[in-house]
Amino acid sequence: MSPWTRSTLPAAAALLVLWAAPAFAQKTDVVILRNGNEITGEIKKLDKGKLEYSTDDMGRINIEWDKILHLTSNHYFEVEQQSGAKHFGQLRRTDEPGELVVVLTRPVTLPMSSVVSITPVEATFWQRLSGRVDVGFNFTKANSLLEFTTGFEVKYRGRKWYSRLAGNSYVQSQDSTDGTSRNDLSLDIQRFLAHKWSAGGVVSARQNQELELDLRLTTGLTGNHSLIQNNSSRLILTGGLTGSREEYVGTTAALNAEVTVGADYSLFRYDSPKTDIETDLNVFVSVVDLGRVRTDFNARFSYEIISDFTIGVRGFHTFDSRPGSDTANRSDYGIYLTLGYTFS
């Protein structure tokens, strides 16, 4: 063996071991279920009452949180409780079932029933994303009525920041009548504060031919408080001040400022089949055009038919006590069936 070979082989072997070690050591987390089964794998995250878990033999699986007796890991996580308290560290078990110990500088013992979120500290940007896409379609031959609707939502949840990008579009066409459309797009960015509070800003754009609204551009500052936060439901209260630029058919653009209050409630069940109910209501009170009040209500129900694919029902209702056009309708509402895909 040449001197070059003798000197380089140990270094190459060491590099190979260092490169391969993370791959072999990655799936070392342990889940013990209430039925006594023990599963070795890798914790991806806990959200909405389900633990996403990656295994070598079964691939990625979802485990109902209330079916887990013990959970251990040498990796580091952010663990959040219903109270909003956050803990960072490795995960350990006690002899008592249903308890979780988070260890960083000192151990903190938590009832597992109080834990609502577990996120790897080193989670990548893509691992922190979740969202959905919905599509609805209807065609009636008798009057050539065609309706098409799409909607999407993408959420990012970091250690200190939360953002949500969402949009909806509806298009209708029919013989012998003018078609109609409505479109909206919004971006919400929030900074997490103490005691389940957050603060940030929102920007949005909306168009609705039914209400003769050509375009409404809105920006504002908002504050949120998570009043309810557990593994089956969440209730978030919001409040803030927004400014907007509105343009209705046949009118010039006008500026408006509004005080806004709202509530966002979601109810979810992971027990098969997975179901989700989401509702939100926002009330806007103008401080420029006194006496004008607007409301936006949205509801969504989804039912999982196969993994990550859903069927559902979406509905909405909007109201404006004093629209910017004399001929515009005060309200608009609708309900439709959808097919959807969720990702996390």
For residue 264, CA distances in Å to 12, 132, 176, 267, 298 come to 56, 17, 40, 10, 10
pLDDT at 14 over 50: no
Amino acid 140: pLDDT: 74
Q: Rounded to 5 degrees, what angle do the CA atoms 178, 182, 185 make?
A: 160
pLDDT per residue as tens digits for the range 167-216: 999 998 887 777 889 999 999 999 999 999 999 999 999 999 989 999 99
Amino acid 179: pLDDT: 80
Which one of 2.40.50.140, 2.40.50.100, 3.40.50.150, 2.40.160.40 gives the CATH number of domain 127-343? 2.40.160.40
Q: Which residue has the higher pLDDT, 2 or 270?
A: 270
For residue 320, CA distances in Å to 82, 190, 284 come to 37, 27, 9
Closest CA to 310 of 298, 321, 301: 301
What SS3 state is found at 62?
strand
pLDDT at 166 over 90: yes
Q: Is the peptide bond before 273 cis (omega within 30 degrees of 0)?
A: yes
Q: What is the pTM (predicted TM-score) of this model?
A: 0.85
43 Cβ neighbours under 8 A, 6+ residues apart: 29, 51, 52, 53, 71, 73, 75, 77, 91, 118, 120
Stretch(es) of the chain classified as CATH 2.40.160.40: 127-343
pLDDT per residue as tens digits for the range 269-294: 877 678 999 999 999 999 999 999 99
197 Cβ neighbours under 8 A, 6+ residues apart: 223, 224, 225
d(CA 137, CA 227): 36
End-to-end CA distance of the chain: 53
